[in-house]
Amino acid sequence: MAVSHRGAISFGLVHIPVGLYTATQDNDIHFNQLCREDGSRIKYKKVCASCGKEVSAKDIVKGFEYDKDKFVIMTDEDFEKAKSEKDKTIHILHFTDLNSIRPIYYDKTYHAIPEAGGDKAFELLRKAMKDENKVAIAKTVMGTKEKLLTLIPTDDGILIETMFFADEVKQAPKESSHPEVNEAELTMAKTLINTMVKDFEPSLYKDEYQVKLREIIEQKIAGKDITASAPEVQVNAIDIMEALKQSLVQAGVNND
């Protein structure tokens, strides 16, 4: 697995060399766009809006539109000037409780792996954070962008989550209403929740859509006819108390 980012975690005067490796992968089935008539692949060309000429990658530059149809050209050197040497370090700003961070701020997950000479300091940081039930908030530069990070200790290592900045997070389009619920409804809802509590085991959950899609593709490759399965009939329960009672019965709880 290729390293995505290489730097050092700065923890006070301690510097821990680490490599960041992506912790997730895209397993979705991807498709090509084809011409309906002859099945040939569709290709896209980059064309100059002014002269109509096709433009190659080496002749494309980045421009910032500061006014209508007015651009300032940015070069690779310009982006490098915006960085400082310290930016390449994963600089810990402070520590906090994990539950103080709303999940909406998380973007992408990386495994932090200590590099040569950093093993002991890495383990010291991991164990200290784990024992104190704290996570670290840090900053670094990845590519050309400054990134806000959360360092989360686990039993085996440290996960690093890239985060959105506050001005990148959208507010909900409107606040949800909070109608009053009665104690009987609340008690039954809590009872139902507690009957459904179990440890999270990632291996138990599969992307059923991708499984079915792959089966259909394999059947079509084999020249078999595809028969769609009948959709499940959903019954909408209007009476909340009745729906809770039926749910508890299905869970094997006697609520009389």
Return d(Cα 12, Cα 121) in angstroms, integer: 12
Q: Read off the pLDDT of residues 143-180 as tens digits, 9 standing for 90 and up.
A: 778 899 999 999 999 999 999 999 999 998 998 888 88
Q: Read off the pLDDT of residues 183-198 as tens digits, 9 standing for 90 and up.
A: 998 998 999 999 989 9
Work out the angle at residue 216's Cα, subtended by the Cα atoms of residues 212 and 219, and round it to the nearest 5 degrees.
135
Residue 86, pLDDT score:
60
- Torsion sign, CA atoms 33, 37, 39, 45: negative
Break the chain into its structural domains and give their ranges: 5-27+81-168, 183-250
Residue 237, pLDDT score:
47
Return d(Cα 223, Cα 192) in angstroms, integer: 47
Q: Output the average pLDDT for the chain.
A: 88
> Mean pLDDT over residues 220-229, rounded?
75
Among the ranges given (54-58, 153-157, 226-230), the one the predictor scored with the smallest mean pLDDT: 226-230
The strand pairing partners of 141, in sequence order, are 146
Return d(Cα 106, Cα 148) in angstroms, integer: 10
Residue 228, pLDDT score:
64
Domain 5-27+81-168: assigned CATH number? 2.40.290.10
